[in-house]
A and B are shown apart, each in its own frame.
Chain A
C-alpha cells in the first residue's frame, strides 16, 4: 500500500519535471506557399493582369527564386473600371505596356506590416518611378497612389501580392504634360497661361492642381475663347491661382488620414478642405482671409460654392504633382474681378 503511494508520488514528480516542452524562439516561417506564377495564373480575377504581364514579357519574374517581388495586381474589375478590356490591352504597344506593368511591381517582399505608417511614402517600382504608399493609425487600409488595396498580403513562396481596385498609370514628368494631354482641361490651361501660372507647373513641386473641366467652365459661361479674351489686369490672380495648391501633395482618399487643422493659405485666399456631408468625399471652398470676421461670418458664398471630390477618384499623378478633377468652379473668375 505504502509503496504504491511512493510510486504515485515519484511518477507525479516526474510528470511535473517533464510535463512542459520548452520551445525556443518563433517557429520557422511557413514555406508551403505557392509560387507567384501559380497564384496569378490560376486566379481568374487576375487573368487580365496575367495576360498583360505575358504580353509585356515581364512574367519571368514570377519564377524568381531570390529575394522575391511585391506585386500590386489590379483585378479584372479594376481593368474594367480603368476602361481597359482584353481587346484594348492587346492594342497597347509592348513598350508602353511593359512600363505600365513594371510600375505595379517592386523588388523584395514587402508585406503590409513592413510599410511605414506615413502618407505618400515613396517606393521605387521596377520601371524606376516612384510608387506612393499611404497607411496610418487612423485608416489602416493600404493605399497605393490613392488607390485602395482590396486585399493585402497574398503570400507567395517568392513574393507577395496586394490586390488593387484600379490600374495605376506611370506618371509623366510634369503636371503640364498631364493637363495638355487631356482636352477636357483646355480652358484651365488657357487660364493658367493667361495669368502667368503655367510655368509654375513645370517646377519640381510638389503641387496639387484641383482642375475644373471645360464643362465646369461652360456652366459659368466660360470657354477657351472667353478666357483668352480676359484681361489679367482686370482680375485678381486668384481667379486661376486658386486651382493650384503649392507646396502640397495629397491623394483625395488620404486627406482624412491626416485631416487639415485649418485652411490652406494660397496667396490672398484660403482654401477650406473638409469631409463632405455624405462622408465619402472631400469638399473644397475658397474664402477670403477674413471670412470669420464679424461682418463676414453670416455669409456662406464668397467666390464659389463647395465643390466635391469623390474618394473613388485617386487623381492623376505626375512626377511633380497631382491633378484632381473638379466638376465645378469653386473660384468663379468674375467674383474676383477688380471693379
Chain B
C-alpha cells in the first residue's frame, strides 16, 4: 500500500515536470547562408511645407506574403517598430537585455524620456535568430543568417503605437516606401540601410554594402577607422542656412592623443598622429571604405597604477567632474570645396563610454555643429572575469546629413596588450 502511494506520488510529481515546458524546436543552420544587418538611418522630423510628413518609424519585411491586392501581410523575417538607429552600435546585440524600466533617453534637462512604444534600432538587434559566426577574427553576432540568393526587401511606414504590424489596417500596411529586390551571395556579409535620397521630396532609398572587411587582412596591433558619406541630395533650406549639415564634400583630418601626467597634466598627440589628413569624401553612397590606422597602445595608456583611466563622462553635466584620461582619437571635418584650416567646421572626439552614450542626449554627437561632439572610445574596454580586456576595433563611421553613426566591430584579442 505504502509503495503504491509512493509510486502515485512520483507520478503526480513527474507529470507536471514532463508536461510543464514547451520544447521549442531549434532553428536549423542555413547551409548556403549569407549574413545581413539592417539599419534605419532616417532621422528627419516631418515638415508640412517642405519634405515629407510621415514619421520615421518603419516595419522592415523580407520576402513578405501579400494579399490579393499586393499589400504586405506578414513576413518570416521582419523587424517591426523600427526606429532611427542609435549613434553607436556594436557588432553584437547591445540591446539584448531590456531594462526593467523600459527604453528611455535622458535629455538636456536631465529628464528621462521613456518610449511609449516598443522600439528596435536595427535588424536582427535582439531578435531570436541565427547569426553569423566569427569571420576573419571579428565578432559578427549582430548580422543575421539568411539563405543566399534573391530576396525582396520592403519597408512600410507604420504609426508610432504598440499595435503589431499584422494587426494594422490595410491602408497603413500599403504605405510602402521601399520595395526592391537584392541578391545575397553565399558567405558574404551585407549591411543595409534605409536612407533619404532627397529630403525636399521625401524620397527614400535602400543602401546596401557588401562588407569587405571580412576578407581583408588586418594587423592585430592597430585600430581601423573608415568614413563614408551617406547623405542624400542636399536640402534647399540647408544652402540657405536653416539646417546645419555636413558639406557635400567632407574633408577629414585626425589626431590621436594620450594623457600625460608630466610635465603637465594634459593630452598630447602621439608623434605622427597630429592632425593627419585622412581623405576628402568626394562621392556619396560609396560601398567601399578605405580605413585609416591608429595604433593599439600598450597597457600604460589605459591604466594608471592598475586602475582604469577615465572616459569623458557624458552622463555627468557637472563641470567639476573628473577629467578624462583614456587615449582618444579626434576627427576634424571641413568643407572639401573650401580647403584651408584643418580646424574646419566640426570636431568629433572619441572619448565617451559606449555603454551610456546612446542614453544621454547632452554630451554626445548631436549633429553637425561647432564645438566638440563626443563619440565612444575606439578601443573596447570590457570587464570580464574580474579582468579588463582592451580590444582593438574596426570602426565604420557613416555620415548622414547632420549626424555621424558609428558601427564598431570588435576584434577578438582577448587580453590586455603587452
The answer to whether A and B belong to the same complex is: yes
Chain A residues within CB distance 8 Å of chain B: 6, 9-10, 13-14, 16-17, 110-111, 113-121, 123, 136-138, 245, 248, 250, 254-255, 257-265, 273, 289, 292
Asked if B7 is at the interface of the complex by the 8 Å CB criterion, the answer is no
Asked whether A292 lies within 8 Å of B241 as measured between CB atoms, the reply is yes
Indicate the size class of the contact surface on chain B: 35 or more
The residue on A at minimum CB distance from B15 is A17
**Please, how many angstroms separate the alpha-carbon atoms of A121 and B242 in the complex?**
28
Asked whether B172 lies within 8 Å of A116 as measured between CB atoms, the reply is yes
When distances are taken between beta carbons in the complex, the residues of chain A under 8 Å from B243 are 261-262
Expressed in whole angstroms, the minimum distance between the Cβ of A198 and any Cβ of chain B is 23
Expressed in whole angstroms, the minimum distance between the Cβ of A144 and any Cβ of chain B is 14
A260 touching B171 in the complex, CB below 8 Å, given contacts A10-B12, A117-B55, A119-B53: no
Known pairs A120-B53, A260-B47, A264-B50; list 16 more (Cβ under 8 Å). A10-B8, A14-B12, A110-B171, A113-B161, A114-B169, A116-B159, A137-B160, A138-B46, A248-B49, A257-B48, A260-B49, A260-B50, A261-B242, A262-B243, A265-B240, A273-B49
When distances are taken between beta carbons in the complex, the residues of chain B under 8 Å from A110 are 169, 171
**Please, how many angstroms separate the alpha-carbon atoms of A76 and B240 in the complex?**
49
**Please, how many angstroms separate the alpha-carbon atoms of A136 and B171 in the complex?**
15
Most A C-beta atoms less than 10 A away, residue of B53, B157, B237, B242:
B53
**Please, how many angstroms separate the alpha-carbon atoms of A117 and B158 in the complex?**
7
**Please, how many angstroms separate the alpha-carbon atoms of A259 and B163 in the complex?**
26
25 residue pairs of the A-B complex, CB under 8 angstroms, read A10-B9, A13-B16, A17-B15, A113-B159, A114-B172, A115-B169, A116-B172, A117-B57, A118-B175, A119-B53, A123-B171, A137-B55, A137-B57, A255-B48, A258-B53, A259-B48, A260-B47, A260-B48, A261-B45, A261-B243, A262-B237, A262-B242, A264-B49, A264-B50, A265-B236
Asked if B29 is at the interface of the complex by the 8 Å CB criterion, the answer is no
Tell me the dominant secondary structure on chain B's binding face: loop
Q: In B9-52, which residues have CB < 8 Å from any A CB?
A: 9, 12-13, 15-16, 45-51
Q: In B175-225, which residues have CB < 8 Å from any A CB?
A: 175
The residue on A at minimum CB distance from B240 is A262
Q: In B53-77, which residues have CB < 8 Å from any A CB?
A: 53-55, 57
When distances are taken between beta carbons in the complex, the residues of chain B under 8 Å from A136 are 46, 53, 55
**Please, how many angstroms separate the alpha-carbon atoms of A10 and B157 in the complex?**
55
**Please, how many angstroms separate the alpha-carbon atoms of A239 and B329 in the complex?**
55
When distances are taken between beta carbons in the complex, the residues of chain B under 8 Å from A9 are 9
A118 touching B49 in the complex, CB below 8 Å, given contacts A9-B9, A17-B16, A262-B240: no
Chain B residues within CB distance 8 Å of chain A: 5, 8-9, 12-13, 15-16, 45-51, 53-55, 57, 157-161, 163, 168-169, 171-172, 175, 236-237, 240-243
**Please, how many angstroms separate the alpha-carbon atoms of A14 and B160 in the complex?**
45
Asked whether B171 lies within 8 Å of A116 as measured between CB atoms, the reply is yes
The residue on A at minimum CB distance from B236 is A265
**Please, how many angstroms separate the alpha-carbon atoms of A121 and B157 in the complex?**
13
When distances are taken between beta carbons in the complex, the residues of chain B under 8 Å from A257 are 46, 48, 53
The residue on A at minimum CB distance from B242 is A262
Most A C-beta atoms less than 10 A away, residue of B45, B163, B172:
B172
The residue on A at minimum CB distance from B167 is A113
Query: Which 7 pairs between the two chains have the least Cβ-Cβ distance?
Result: A114-B169, A262-B242, A258-B46, A117-B159, A119-B53, A262-B237, A258-B48
When distances are taken between beta carbons in the complex, the residues of chain A under 8 Å from B13 are 13
Asked whether B53 lies within 8 Å of A6 as measured between CB atoms, the reply is no
Asked whether A254 lies within 8 Å of B48 as measured between CB atoms, the reply is yes
**Please, how many angstroms separate the alpha-carbon atoms of A177 and B46 in the complex?**
31
Asked whether A16 lies within 8 Å of B54 as measured between CB atoms, the reply is no
The residue on B at minimum CB distance from A123 is B171
When distances are taken between beta carbons in the complex, the residues of chain B under 8 Å from A259 are 47-48
**Please, how many angstroms separate the alpha-carbon atoms of A136 and B240 in the complex?**
28
A137 touching B159 in the complex, CB below 8 Å, given contacts A115-B171, A118-B175, A260-B48: yes
When distances are taken between beta carbons in the complex, the residues of chain A under 8 Å from B16 are 13, 16-17
A117 touching B163 in the complex, CB below 8 Å, given contacts A13-B16, A258-B48, A292-B241: no
When distances are taken between beta carbons in the complex, the residues of chain A under 8 Å from B161 are 113, 117
Asked whether A250 lies within 8 Å of B242 as measured between CB atoms, the reply is no
When distances are taken between beta carbons in the complex, the residues of chain A under 8 Å from B236 are 265
The residue on B at minimum CB distance from A12 is B12
**Please, how many angstroms separate the alpha-carbon atoms of A127 and B252 in the complex?**
59
Asked whether B237 lies within 8 Å of A113 as measured between CB atoms, the reply is no
**Please, how many angstroms separate the alpha-carbon atoms of A322 and B388 in the complex?**
65
Expressed in whole angstroms, the minimum distance between the Cβ of B328 and any Cβ of chain A is 33
**Please, how many angstroms separate the alpha-carbon atoms of A254 and B171 in the complex?**
20
**Please, how many angstroms separate the alpha-carbon atoms of A201 and B47 in the complex?**
24
The residue on A at minimum CB distance from B117 is A137
Asked whether A13 lies within 8 Å of B12 as measured between CB atoms, the reply is yes
Most A C-beta atoms less than 10 A away, residue of B157, B159, B163, B240:
B159
**Please, how many angstroms separate the alpha-carbon atoms of A190 and B163 in the complex?**
52
When distances are taken between beta carbons in the complex, the residues of chain B under 8 Å from A250 are 48-49
Expressed in whole angstroms, the minimum distance between the Cβ of A250 and any Cβ of chain B is 5
Asked whether B12 lies within 8 Å of A261 as measured between CB atoms, the reply is no
When distances are taken between beta carbons in the complex, the residues of chain B under 8 Å from A263 are 242
When distances are taken between beta carbons in the complex, the residues of chain B under 8 Å from A273 are 49
**Please, how many angstroms separate the alpha-carbon atoms of A37 and B160 in the complex?**
34
**Please, how many angstroms separate the alpha-carbon atoms of A253 and B16 in the complex?**
60
Asked whether B169 lies within 8 Å of A261 as measured between CB atoms, the reply is no
The residue on A at minimum CB distance from B241 is A292
Expressed in whole angstroms, the minimum distance between the Cβ of A216 and any Cβ of chain B is 22
The residue on A at minimum CB distance from B1 is A3
Our pick among A6, A113, A245 for the contact of B9 (Cβ within 8 Å) is: A6
**Please, how many angstroms separate the alpha-carbon atoms of A73 and B238 in the complex?**
44
When distances are taken between beta carbons in the complex, the residues of chain A under 8 Å from B53 are 118-120, 136, 257-258
The residue on A at minimum CB distance from B48 is A258
The residue on B at minimum CB distance from A111 is B169
When distances are taken between beta carbons in the complex, the residues of chain A under 8 Å from B163 are 113
Expressed in whole angstroms, the minimum distance between the Cβ of B69 and any Cβ of chain A is 13
The residue on B at minimum CB distance from A26 is B167
When distances are taken between beta carbons in the complex, the residues of chain A under 8 Å from B159 are 113, 116-117, 137
The residue on A at minimum CB distance from B174 is A116
Asked whether B50 lies within 8 Å of A262 as measured between CB atoms, the reply is yes
When distances are taken between beta carbons in the complex, the residues of chain A under 8 Å from B169 are 110-111, 113-115
When distances are taken between beta carbons in the complex, the residues of chain A under 8 Å from B168 are 114
Expressed in whole angstroms, the minimum distance between the Cβ of B332 and any Cβ of chain A is 27
Most A C-beta atoms less than 10 A away, residue of B47, B49, B53:
B49
When distances are taken between beta carbons in the complex, the residues of chain B under 8 Å from A292 are 241
Expressed in whole angstroms, the minimum distance between the Cβ of A56 and any Cβ of chain B is 27
**Please, how many angstroms separate the alpha-carbon atoms of A121 and B171 in the complex?**
9
Asked whether A116 lies within 8 Å of B157 as measured between CB atoms, the reply is yes
**Please, how many angstroms separate the alpha-carbon atoms of A63 and B15 in the complex?**
55
